[in-house]
Amino acid sequence: MSAVLYHFAFDPGSRAARLALGEAKLPFEETPVRPWEDDCPIAGLNPSGMPPVLQVAETGRPLTLCEPAAILGWLEDRSREPFLVPADPAERAETRRLTTWFDRRFTDEVDAVLLHERMEKPLLRLGPPEARALRAGREALRAHLGQFEGLLAERDWLAGRRLGQADIVAAAHLSVLDYFGEVAWANWPGLKTWYMKLKSRPCFRPLLADRFPGVQPSAWYTDLDF
Amino acid sequence: MSAVLYHFAFDPGSRAARLALGEAKLPFEETPVRPWEDDCPIAGLNPSGMPPVLQVAETGRPLTLCEPAAILGWLEDRSREPFLVPADPAERAETRRLTTWFDRRFTDEVDAVLLHERMEKPLLRLGPPEARALRAGREALRAHLGQFEGLLAERDWLAGRRLGQADIVAAAHLSVLDYFGEVAWANWPGLKTWYMKLKSRPCFRPLLADRFPGVQPSAWYTDLDF
């Protein structure tokens, strides 16, 4: 089997795909892309123009998997046992609720504000970050982190007793914010323990090697015992 | 088995749940909710505060399914055969790509503009619609409809050869816009045929009986042969 992942290292959706492929121990080639550039190869693969896209060729015809849902869904389909969506019906429901939460709420309230200011503005040369937007994004992030801390007070992993898709998707988003030093882990001890467990897994290693042009990672970004 | 759906009749996600439950021929009680009101019962069920939520009690412990992904996923899980996610891997990928498309792009570019102006403003007493926003939303809608028309030039259903989740989700969004007369079907003959096929299915009947306070549906909203 051959697999090529088109991804942008600091796109949370792309990171979710890399983490899930890593958890599946499925080897893949990488094609880093810059989706905001005119000649980005993603434009010819995914009508939304956005990474991640995974092209796979197994025994049958080649498959083009666009968006995290298609990539994670395909990994789930080809696994004999439940893989990132747990077998328990309540945990399956919670996994899907939390995936929607990150796709909509977290993306809209946190990423679209904080990652726009810290990441998109330098990439697209849109000028310096605005203090008011940073404050609003950080306040929204605190509210979200408080919710996750609450879940982890009663559970080992975000959706229940097993590591799964909710954790992968959450870690994908939080790891980008963590690179930019936006996650005050000391305030969220349950979440910090959860993140340390995830960060020590082999699937996480490639993400810790990512570097954003002109921005050093936070002092603890690569530290497994922060 | 007992099932209670908390839903708002003109919320596209709620409509996707009703259509999927209808296709599954699964009887359910309805609790209509108004999620913008302080005492909405959804607040105690779904942390996002949003419909749809389905509460089911089968043989085991009761399940609370929050968000369309959990409801449609649960229906898929309990079906012996592939139900709304087709068996073919390429059609599965396309189903998931299009579901993401509606959850993100269509919601952001069309619903958040046009349904805000036409539906949320009267509900929340936010004043009359703005002409500029209506123009922008209608232009975005045309671009999306053009994409769907392109897909249907080569396929029977949006994701391939079988009716599935992509069609249910698309029809959920388009049917709300159609109530407000925003879909110029005559310009999109392939899409119109597709919508007529969907609209004739028993699952669609309850949606055609919905009425929005103070707004009559478009002349063709309930017409199966428009």
Is residue A154 domain-shared with residue A103, that is, in the same domain?
A: yes
pLDDT-derived band of residue B10, with 50, 70 and 90 as boundaries? very high
Cβ <8 Å between A93 and B105: no
Strands laid side by side in the B63-66 sheet: B29-32, B2-7, B53-57, B63-66
List chain B residues with CB under 8 Å of A90. 61, 63
- C-alpha closest to that of A175 among A100, A128, A226, A108: A226
List chain B residues with CB under 8 Å of A47. 97, 101, 147
B31 versus A58: which is more confidently predicted?
A: B31
Is residue A121 domain-shared with residue A186, that is, in the same domain?
A: yes
Give the per-residue pLDDT at B58. 83
Domain range enclosing B130 = 89-208
Residue A176 included in any domain: yes
Residue B81's CB: how many other CB atoms inside 10 A?
Answer: 5
Tens of pLDDT along B50-106?
999 999 998 778 999 999 999 999 999 999 999 999 999 999 999 999 999 999 999
Give the per-residue pLDDT at A4. 97
Give the CATH number, domain containing residue A153.
Answer: 1.20.1050.10
pLDDT-derived band of residue A60, with 50, 70 and 90 as boundaries? confident
Instruction: Name the token pair of A30.
Output: 């990488």
How close B96 comes to chain A (CA, Å)?
Answer: 5
Question: What proportion of chain B, given as a percentage, has pLDDT over 90?
Answer: 95
Q: B64, B4 in Cβ contact below 8 A?
A: no
Cβ <8 Å between A67 and B97: yes
Is residue A106 domain-shared with residue A28, that is, in the same domain?
A: no
Cα distance from N-terminal residue to C-terminal residue, chain B: 38
Looking at the structure of chain A, the number of domains it has is 2
Is residue A95 domain-shared with residue A197, that is, in the same domain?
A: yes
Residue A129 included in any domain: yes
Instruction: Name the token pair of A78.
Output: 């080809």
Is residue A167 domain-shared with residue A201, that is, in the same domain?
A: yes
Is residue A118 domain-shared with residue A58, that is, in the same domain?
A: no
Q: A70, B96 in Cβ contact below 8 A?
A: yes
Tens of pLDDT along A151-181?
999 999 999 999 999 999 999 999 999 999 9
Instruction: Over range B106-131, report the average pLDDT.
Output: 96
Please tell me the distance from the alpha carbon of residue B146 to that of residue A47, in angstroms, as a whole number.
Answer: 12
The nearest alpha carbon in chain A to B71 belongs to A93
| Chain mean pLDDT for chain A | 96
pLDDT-derived band of residue B163, with 50, 70 and 90 as boundaries? very high
Residue A216 included in any domain: no
**A67 has a chain B CB within 8 A of its CB:** yes
Residue B226 included in any domain: no
**Residue A163, SS3 per DSSP:** coil
pLDDT-derived band of residue A58, with 50, 70 and 90 as boundaries? confident
Instruction: Over range B119-139, report the average pLDDT.
Output: 96
**Residue A211, SS3 per DSSP:** coil
Domain boundary among B22, B46, B78: B78
Tens of pLDDT along A25-37?
999 999 999 999 9
Residue B200 included in any domain: yes
- Which DSSP helix (H) or strand (E) runs through A4? strand A2-7
CA triple A29-A31-A36, angle to 5 deg: 160
The nearest alpha carbon in chain B to A60 belongs to B89
**A2 has a chain B CB within 8 A of its CB:** no
Is residue A95 domain-shared with residue A71, that is, in the same domain?
A: no
Is residue A93 domain-shared with residue A192, that is, in the same domain?
A: yes
Give the per-residue pLDDT at A55. 97
Is residue B42 domain-shared with residue B116, that is, in the same domain?
A: no
Tens of pLDDT along A91-147?
999 999 999 999 999 999 999 999 999 999 999 999 999 999 999 999 999 999 999
